Structure 1
Amino acid sequence: MPFRRSAPVWPAVHSERRALIRDLETLAPELWAQPSLCPGWDIHDVVAHLVDSAKTTRLSFLRGLIAAKFDFDKQNANGIARARGATPEATLAEFRRIRDETKTPPAAPATRLVEAIVHGEDIRRPLGILHSYPGASVDAALRYQLKTGVSMGGGKERAAGFRLQASDTGLEHGSGPVVRGSSLVLLLAVSGRPVAEEEFSGAGAAMFVRKLNQTS
């Protein structure tokens, strides 16, 4: 079902932060060094990024961007270095402390939901951790990514030329060869995360995966 306009984003974000914290609490310390789905980032880095992002205001984002000379990758790296604790336990403790924050950089609130879900999977998928996300939340994040360009962190161009169909929520978008998958898998795909061809079906599945591999 679609995510209603009146449905607030922040309770969904806070719920996902709490769920991820519960998963991280059972993680052996050595697994925090395992690579995530984000190239060059391990699990600890992703958690540190989530901590830094949750503490970032519009003003501090602009200050950080200026300090990084408008290099977004450098800004992210600076944020990770700032938020990453000396141990996984220290970083997790800070994540617990800020889990209910409602701060945000100068972006739509929906970006916080995209971040909570996509980065949650950046951590869970490599570790083999399964998590059930509310369909309305995933659909809201997917809709945002589908209308936002890649240069702004979205996935509009990745989806262009295909008819995406969410097999679990009924969301449909675009025109062209049909690509069917769960709303979560479609969200990860258009967000530039690696997704196996077997997770899709439909006449356009193979072509869609080839496009993703060329553009991600």
Structure 2
Amino acid sequence: MSDLPEIQQRELAALVADLSALEPAQWRAATLCADWDVEEVVAHLGGAAATSRPAWFRSMFAAHFDASLHNRRRLEDFRGSTPQETLERFRHTGPIDSPIKPSPAGLGEIIVHSEDIRRPLGLHHAPDPAGLLEVAKFFVAKNFAVNSKTLAKGLTLHATDADFHEGVGPEVRGPLLSLVMAIAGRATFLPDLSGDGVAELTTRLAV
């Protein structure tokens, strides 16, 4: 999909708009991303966007291919001395240059982590439909950054609001964004889903 960088840029701008309206305490709010607060997720996204493909490989090599260490180093490099400084830096970032090219992996990072921030804060955003569809197709085909292919294996994923029907097995149906977030490992989105495959997906997410 040739316009993925443009879609990424629009999604980044939408997230910046939401972040600009946050109260100071909200920057320390918990997110759906492990133990990171809002500022840390933003710094993670910014660090990913600021890291070129060659720099990504050098960073992973230096971290002995420990993705958690790599992510923490890039996060801390990007993070400002205050949340507002972090936001100002993030405001000027470009699309994430995925190590897998061509690939919707960078857009997937933005969509998933934006929801990691928005959902706990009660913020609502509808990602670009075409871009979200490309991310969903990528997630069921690849384990990259998240174990989405493994989580989706042996299940039929059926979006109720998009032309997306993938897999063979017990069905999991619901909004496409919720399907994407669930196979990205976010159990918070399971209540949005229905079908005889939800129990199995719930078990997988609990492991």
TM-score range, shorter chain: over 0.9
Backbone CA RMSD of aligned residues: 1.5
Look up the match of 1:117. 111
Residue 213, structure 1, aligned to residue 177, structure 2: no
Q: Counterparts of 1:114 and 1:194 in 2: how far apart (Å)?
A: 17
Unpaired runs of 5+ in structure 2?
none
Look up the match of 1:173. 166
Look up the match of 1:161. 154
Deviation at 1:103, TM superposition (A): 5.5
Change (3 A) 1:47 1:103: closer
SS at match of 2:117: helix
User: Aligned partner of 2:21: which letter?
Assistant: T
User: Aligned partner of 2:197: which letter?
Assistant: G
Look up the match of 1:35. 30
Deviation at 1:67, TM superposition (A): 2.2
Q: Structure 1 length as normaliser, TM-score?
A: 0.90
The structure 2 residue matched to 1:204, chosen from 169, 190, 197, is: 197
Q: Counterparts of 2:179 and 2:153 in 1: how far apart (Å)?
A: 13
Deviation at 1:195, TM superposition (A): 2.9
Asked whether the 8 Å contact 2:32–2:120 carries over to 1, the reply is yes
SS at match of 1:107: coil
SS at match of 2:108: helix
Asked whether the 8 Å contact 1:32–1:88 carries over to 2, the reply is yes
Asked whether the 8 Å contact 2:132–2:177 carries over to 1, the reply is yes
Q: Counterparts of 2:156 and 2:111 in 1: how far apart (Å)?
A: 23
Q: Counterparts of 2:32 and 2:191 in 1: how far apart (Å)?
A: 18
Q: Counterparts of 2:46 and 2:174 in 1: how far apart (Å)?
A: 30
Cα deviation 1:83-121 (Å, max 9, x = unaligned): 1111111011011122xx245142233111101100100
Look up the match of 2:11. 16
Asked whether the 8 Å contact 1:49–1:76 carries over to 2, the reply is yes
Aligned pairs, number: 206
Asked whether the 8 Å contact 1:146–1:154 carries over to 2, the reply is no
The structure 1 residue matched to 2:67, chosen from 65, 72, 77, is: 72
Asked whether the 8 Å contact 1:165–1:181 carries over to 2, the reply is yes
Q: Counterparts of 1:69 and 1:166 in 2: how far apart (Å)?
A: 38
Unpaired runs of 5+ in structure 1?
none
After TM superposition, the runs of 4+ consecutive aligned structure 1 residues lying more than 4 A away are none
The structure 1 residue matched to 2:50, chosen from 51, 55, 79, is: 55
Cα deviation 1:135-173 (Å, max 9, x = unaligned): 2111111110110026x5341110111111001003001
Change (3 A) 1:28 1:169: same
Asked whether the 8 Å contact 1:58–1:105 carries over to 2, the reply is yes
Asked whether the 8 Å contact 1:124–1:130 carries over to 2, the reply is yes
Change (3 A) 1:123 1:155: same
Q: Structure 2 length as normaliser, TM-score?
A: 0.93
Residue 25, structure 1, aligned to residue 29, structure 2: no
Asked whether the 8 Å contact 1:168–1:182 carries over to 2, the reply is yes
SS at match of 2:40: helix
Residue 44, structure 1, aligned to residue 39, structure 2: yes
